[in-house]
């Protein structure tokens, strides 16, 4: 069964998470610089079957697009042109960074580890993917 890949897109870093082959478990994969994400995905897709890319959809508390949406929309359009055979889904990403930070605290990570923004982005991507899987009843 093909995997599902999730992206927490930021101007500097992109957190990436992926399911296992049975689409049961969401796990953090890596964090890459935003300028390198397409190259990373091309390489990843050449080695792994992926049926869907889930991209975080930033919204404010009133359910309107957040400020960062203006950077993400062009990225999503580029993704759909670059990988036309892979379905792209959007998932509300409100509070994922806060949830990722809390997850790090709950896991007992020290203050220095919690300051690792790349790890926060990777965990955020995992939360986005888990949310998508739960909404689908996976």
How is the chain split into domains, by residue range?
3-136
Query: Would the pLDDT of 36 be above 60?
Result: yes
- Asked if 4 and 23 count as a contact pair (C-beta separation under 8 A), the reply is yes
Residue 12: per-residue pLDDT: 94
For 39, 48, 60, 69, the CA distances from 36, given in Å and listed in that order, are 5, 18, 28, 19
In CATH terms, the superfamily for domain 3-136 is YqgF/RNase H-like domain (3.30.420.140)
Residue 97: per-residue pLDDT: 67
Residues in the chain: 138
Q: Which helix (H) or strand (E) holds 9?
A: strand 3-9
Q: Higher-confidence residue: 54 or 115? A: 54
Kindly report the average pLDDT of the chain as a whole number: 88
């Amino acid at each position: 069964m093909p995997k599902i890949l999730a992206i927490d897109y930021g101007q500097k870093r992109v957190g990436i998470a992926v399911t296992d082959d049975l689409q049961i478990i969401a796990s953090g994969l890596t964090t890459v610089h935003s300028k390198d994400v397409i190259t990373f995905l091309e390489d990843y897709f050449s080695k792994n079957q992926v049926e869907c890319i889930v991209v975080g959809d930033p919204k404010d508390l009133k359910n309107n697009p957040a400020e960062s949406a203006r950077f993400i929309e062009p990225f999503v359009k580029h993704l759909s042109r670059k990988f036309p055979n892979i379905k792209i889904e959007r998932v509300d990403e409100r509070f994922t960074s806060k949830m990722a930070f809390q997850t790090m605290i709950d896991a007992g990570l020290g203050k220095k580890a919690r300051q690792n923004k790349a790890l926060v982005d990777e965990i955020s991507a995992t939360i986005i993917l888990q949310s998508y899987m739960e909404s689908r009843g996976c």
